[in-house]
Structure 1
Amino acid sequence: MRIKLLLAATIAIVGLGLSACNKKTDLAPSSIFTFKLDTISYHSNSTEGYLTDTIEAGKKTLVVDGVTNNFGYHMELMVTFPDSIRVGSYEAGAEMTLMDIQQKAVGYVSKTIKINITSINSKHAEGNFSGVLTNGDIEKPLTDGTFKVEIY
């Protein structure tokens, strides 16, 4: 009887340990895409990063694409590299958009944007960004921008 109890307790402890390990890996987000536009903070809960070819031969573009958790806004940050894919600061070829998915408000596009890529390779990219977005009539400062994405 004691052997059966000991065996059941051992199986339960091992099962709890294995399920706890799986939960730990689920807690860490693999991608981050956040910024502040004027006084409002935006955080993407569904973020993707990818490299794509441009129409101009030999140019690559990094795209960081996201949607806020309430599906209210679509956020997209892009930088076209002038020569090779590498870390550095980019203004020329850099773009940012923030669009209301439900079209209840006017969207914003970059008037000026500076993207600092601090790390990039074929599997991930990370950095920060800031600038000014406009909806055609109103300009708002974009601050505290940061991204860290897996590249697909």
Structure 2
Amino acid sequence: MRMKLFMVAVIAAIGTVFCSCDKKTGITPSSIFSFKLDGAQYQSNATEAYVTDTVYAGRKTLVLDGVTNNFGHHMELMITFPDSLKAGTYTEDVEMSLMNIQEKEPGYLGKNIKVIITGINSKHAEGTFSGVLISGETEKPLTDGTFKIVIY
């Protein structure tokens, strides 16, 4: 009898916990990191973003790191801030790369990348970017770049 009573109490406690939870509390916000390269859409389905201190420059760098949903490409955008993390337009110390994970094609590196950060704090950042990616002699336009990310 005691065991049945104990089991009923445990089940009731578990039910109370699940029923009283706010459904929005446990949800991890998703991040958006996407762009078009020469008209082809690239979107990260596994994006990580973090701020790091650069040892060489002694400045903060925001790193957006992502992988497309088919694990075909790795994409990365890095913005090193001249002084502090703040909204603004950045063209200096901006790096962008797009690499084929299976090495079926050469990778691309950024040239003349322009980032407009419309909002940033210690937990979130959002903005747009554009420019040109190059691979050897090949140059392709990068357009419609956008990010809205959670910083870890």
- TM normalised by structure 1 equals 0.81
Corresponding residue of 1:46: 46
Question: Where has structure 1 moved over 3 Å in runs of 4 or more?
Answer: none
When residues 93 and 57 of structure 1 are mapped into structure 2, their CA distance, relative to the original with a 3 A threshold, is closer
Corresponding residue of 1:85: 85
Alpha-carbon offset, residue 56 of structure 1:
3.0
Alpha-carbon offset, residue 80 of structure 1:
0.2
Corresponding residue of 2:117: 117
5+ residue gaps, structure 2: 1-14
Alpha-carbon offset, residue 76 of structure 1:
0.2
Equivalent residue of 1:71, what SS? coil
Corresponding residue of 1:94: 94
Whole-Å separation in 1 of the counterparts to 2:57 and 2:71: 35
Equivalent residue of 2:70, what SS? coil
- TM normalised by structure 2 equals 0.81
Whole-Å separation in 1 of the counterparts to 2:66 and 2:31: 10
Query: 1:16-71: CA deviations, max 9, x gaps?
Result: xx6xx859x76x85200010000100010000110001023530000000000000
Cα RMSD (Å) of the superposition?
2.4
Q: How many residues end up aligned between the 2 structures? A: 137
Corresponding residue of 1:61: 61
5+ residue gaps, structure 1: 1-13
Query: 1:71-99: CA deviations, max 9, x gaps?
Result: 00000000000111110000000111000
Percent identity of the aligned residues? 64
Give the AA of the match of 2:145: G
Whole-Å separation in 1 of the counterparts to 2:60 and 2:52: 6
Whole-Å separation in 1 of the counterparts to 2:102 and 2:131: 25
